[in-house]
């Protein structure tokens, strides 16, 4: 499979994309646990069907020490016993924030309250920005059919 567009060689895309890479790196420095960030990024990418982001965040999570059991169960996190209550709250918020077009009405009060029990305002802000960022990046990759499988952990750091 070959990508429809190469964002890194396009002068037009380059003007915008040069700001996205630092934004992604800044999110990594946010006061949200790294494991939670990777689980959320992976779940958002699974929902959206973004293969290149699934590839990237699975490999980044493994490089950071995440277990294959937890990664394999992200898609079915509600039935899995391997996630903390805080991670479950983050995944619930991520799902509702990603499925806004499914008629869910956005993030409901219950999901917000659940997340608020586990994260302070700065962490919630990071979580909301991460979910939004991942949805944007997923769409960039899906529309242009970016191929998956070749990503190496740390490639964009």
| Residue 40 clears pLDDT 80, i.e. is over it | yes
Better-scored residue on pLDDT, 33 or 104: 33
The pTM assigned to this predicted structure is 0.91
Residue boundaries of the structural domains of the chain: 34-143
- Look at residues 128, 136, 131, 120 and name the one whose alpha carbon lies nearest to residue 31: 120
What is the pLDDT at residue 75? Answer: 97
C-beta neighbour count of 138 within 10 angstroms:
23
| Residue 152 clears pLDDT 90, i.e. is over it | no
Domain 34-143 is found in CATH 3.40.50.11290: no
| Residue 57 clears pLDDT 90, i.e. is over it | yes
| Residue 117 clears pLDDT 90, i.e. is over it | yes
| Residue 54 clears pLDDT 90, i.e. is over it | yes
């Amino acid at each position: 499979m070959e990508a429809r567009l190469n964002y890194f060689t396009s002068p037009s895309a380059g003007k915008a994309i040069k700001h996205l890479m630092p934004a992604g790196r800044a999110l990594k420095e946010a006061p949200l646990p790294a494991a939670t960030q990777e689980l959320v990024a992976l779940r958002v990418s699974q929902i959206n069907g973004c293969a290149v982001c699934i590839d990237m965040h699975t490999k980044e999570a493994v490089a950071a020490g995440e277990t294959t059991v937890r990664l394999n169960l992200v898609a079915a996190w509600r039935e899995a016993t391997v996630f903390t209550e805080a991670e479950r709250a983050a995944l619930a918020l991520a799902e509702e924030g990603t499925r806004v077009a499914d008629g869910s009405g956005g993030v409901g009060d219950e999901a917000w309250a659940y997340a608020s029990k586990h994260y302070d305002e700065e962490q919630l802000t990071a979580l909301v920005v991460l979910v939004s960022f991942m949805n944007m990046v997923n769409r960039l990759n899906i529309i242009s059919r970016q191929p998956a499988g070749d990503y190496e952990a740390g490639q964009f750091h």
